[in-house]
A and B are shown apart, each in its own frame.
Chain A
Amino acid sequence: MEEKSKVIQLKNIQKTFHTKNKEVNVLRNLNAEFYEGNLYAVMGHSGNGKSTLIHILGLIDECDEGEYQIYGKNVKNLKDKDASYMRLKNIGFVFQEFNLVPTLKAYENVMVPMLINKEIQAKERKERAIELLSSVGLKERINHFPKELSGGEQQRVAIARSLANNPNIILADEPTGNLDEKSEREIFTLLKKLAEEGKCVIVVSHSSEIKNYADKVYILDKGKLEGENE
């Protein structure tokens, strides 16, 4: 695993939420490294900061202390414009809710993130969207609206959308939380395939099924990441 390129490094990450009467230290001196070509599972009890970690990794939240590097570049406290650019180039999100636009067809939903990416030619966008949908097994569903798709299919569209700008980091926050077991297995297989293609895939999940697919399983407990069986 160490032979692969390091994509993400977290050093002494701390995150505290302040409520009216108390402070909750969600992440405490958290250290971790994530490499390309691997699927990482982050597990743990509800409310112990798994989603917060994903949000920080995805630059949609900031840590209070510590160092966060992507490809060796410090990305902590970036300005909104720079953080947006970093997300556009490097990060794809998959959420529990599929968050597809109901009035857009599957391929049009996949095209949305590409619309502001100047590196993808305008004429290539549709072709690329269809290609991505084919790669997630939805070649026959490209012209379907979200309501015409099953939950598993909608999540696969969301995965295709997360790949729209060809990011190297895929962050999935409970991607199978709304799906049945069969669809869950399909989604995990798909995410595993992405990791095998060289992406750094980090999945937060309650489901123990993810252990069958992950190259490394982390348990988030008391604000720290511990490798399972370590």
Chain B
Amino acid sequence: MNKYHLKNLFIKITRDKNNIFFIILLVISTIMLIGSITFNKNFNEYIEENINKNINFRVLSVSNKQDEADLGKEELLSIEHVQDVYSSVYGTFLIDSNFANEDLDGKITPQYLPKSTVIHSLIGSQIGENDTGVAIIPKDFYPDNSVYEYNINAKNIIDGESLIGKEFTITYYTRKFENMKFVNDEKLTKTFTVIGVYDNKEFMNYNNDIFISQIDIDEIAKAKIPKNDNPDIEITQIDDYSFNVVVDSLENVESVTEKILEHNFSNVEPSMEIDEGVINTIKISCLVIAIISIAVIILIVLLYMRKKLIRESNYIGILRASGYTKTNVTIQYLFETIITSIITYIIGCILLILLCVILKNIVFNSFNYIGYNIRIFSTDFIIGFVILILTSSISSLYMIHMKLKSNIINLIESRE
């Protein structure tokens, strides 16, 4: 097999319109195969990087002890592996800011960053325990209420890094209970300086979630949830909110849960929980799709080769009569299959990469907060290539071997 022979084969393949349907089917199978491998790998990385390392999966929601002065906070902190305890009211306020413009409403949500929590994506400075008036904002900052509807307009995203060192102001109202309902009372403003930016996906936060110090968030919470001095009226107080208990690692969540229950706290629930069932289902689905794709590739090649070899029986007969040995014919058809598979692979890869780019830029960007990202790994493509070439070659070899059992006369005289 020399380059002229290969050129001749290439011409034969590209001019044969019967190959188009075969190539389309094989491209779809190839996309399914490499796509399932890629998705599976991305999913595993997502689980590893975004879920296993995400603080929210090691935060427990615990009902406080109303009969104790500190509501049981110190008791919770004394439990081994508990890193921090804070009120679940933090992070529930949507507040106006001076980021409002004609495209954005300026709504932001102040968040509390638990003690000892490292922000891996941090650019700039961390918030100190006694700091006030400082904030860490998302690097893709989108101060607008629409973030909760996964409706981010990319052109309105503010580059958080450009705001480091700059000030912004938030506006909120104290609340009071009047005529059996809450009403705004006094208008308050507070100025913050941006000291850093972070990737909100790291915490599964929205693009308008900003970290501020506990002192500042407490101040806002107290203003927005007024203290009720009238025992006849039952309204939710800050103290009514449960605690969020931060465990130092995912592995200790179960043991800490048991210990908290042993301390007679109630309603102990993880803030976010990994559904192992769903994860396993996704992983198994990827495996099943990959196996089905391989089976489909084998089936397609077998059927295609069967049809092709019947159609080209006369041609094979002529090759044999012209002096081609069985090995020559086998090599010729094997190379035809390999060349077709390579063409298929290249088309499949291009389409898959385009699909990934579309998914990444259109679909997953809308779900920015979940942190799912599609990355293309060269190893997946190499694995896909090897599987495609091997399965198609073996299937093809089998069909050629069966065909060459016919004698030359039958091949030449056969009619389609």
A residues apposed to B, CB below 8 Å = 55, 58, 60-61, 80-81, 84-89, 91-93, 95, 97, 99, 101, 103-104, 108, 111-113, 115-117, 122, 125, 161, 164-165
Known: A58-B321, A84-B325, A93-B318. A104 touches B4 (CB 8 A): no
Within 8 A of A (CB), among B292-337: 312, 314-315, 317-328
Q: Point out the residue from B314, B323, B326, B409 that lies within 8 Å of A165, measured CB to CB.
A: B323
A199, B4: Cα distance in complex, Å: 29
Q: Cβ of A61 and Cβ of B412 under 8 Å apart?
A: no
Which residues of chain B have C-beta atoms less than 8 A from A91's C-beta? 321, 323
CB distance from B82 to the nearest CB of A (A): 74
A80, B16: Cα distance in complex, Å: 30
CB distance from A147 to the nearest CB of B (A): 12
| B interface residues, tally (CB under 8 Å) | 28
Known: A88-B323, A164-B322, A165-B323. A99 touches B11 (CB 8 A): no
- The main secondary structure of chain B at its interface with chain A is helix
Known: A60-B407, A99-B315, A103-B15. A111 touches B324 (CB 8 A): no
Q: Cβ of A80 and Cβ of B11 under 8 Å apart?
A: no
Interface centre among A88, A91, A99, A164 (most CB of B within 10 A): A99
Known: A60-B407, A89-B323, A115-B8. A122 touches B318 (CB 8 A): no
A68, B333: Cα distance in complex, Å: 33
Q: Cβ of A55 and Cβ of B325 under 8 Å apart?
A: no
Q: Cβ of B408 and Cβ of A85 under 8 Å apart?
A: no
Q: Cβ of A99 and Cβ of B8 under 8 Å apart?
A: no
Q: Cβ of B322 and Cβ of A108 under 8 Å apart?
A: no
Which residues of chain B have C-beta atoms less than 8 A from A81's C-beta? 325, 327
Q: Point out the residue from B2, B317, B326, B407 that lies within 8 Å of A122, measured CB to CB.
A: B2
CB distance from B64 to the nearest CB of A (A): 80
**Quick one: closest B residue to A97, CB to CB?**
B314
Known: A60-B407, A60-B408, A97-B314. A113 touches B323 (CB 8 A): yes
13 contacts between A and B (CB under 8 A): A84-B323, A85-B325, A86-B323, A87-B322, A97-B412, A99-B318, A101-B312, A103-B11, A103-B15, A104-B12, A104-B15, A111-B8, A125-B4
Which residues of chain B have C-beta atoms less than 8 A from A161's C-beta? 318, 322
Q: Cβ of B322 and Cβ of A101 under 8 Å apart?
A: no
A150, B358: Cα distance in complex, Å: 51
Q: Cβ of A112 and Cβ of B8 under 8 Å apart?
A: yes
Q: Cβ of B12 and Cβ of A103 under 8 Å apart?
A: yes
CB distance from A23 to the nearest CB of B (A): 19
Which residues of chain B have C-beta atoms less than 8 A from A108's C-beta? 8, 11
Q: Point out the residue from A60, A113, A122, A125 that lies within 8 Å of B409, measured CB to CB.
A: A60
0 or 1 for each of B375-416: is its CB under 8 Å from A? (1 = yes):
000000000000000000000000000000001110010000
Which residues of chain B have C-beta atoms less than 8 A from A104's C-beta? 8, 11-12, 15
Which residues of chain B have C-beta atoms less than 8 A from A112's C-beta? 8, 318-319, 322
Which residues of chain A have C-beta atoms less than 8 A from B317's C-beta? 99
B263 at the interface (CB under 8 A from A): no
CB distance from B315 to the nearest CB of A (A): 6
A166, B320: Cα distance in complex, Å: 16
Interface centre among A84, A95, A122 (most CB of B within 10 A): A84
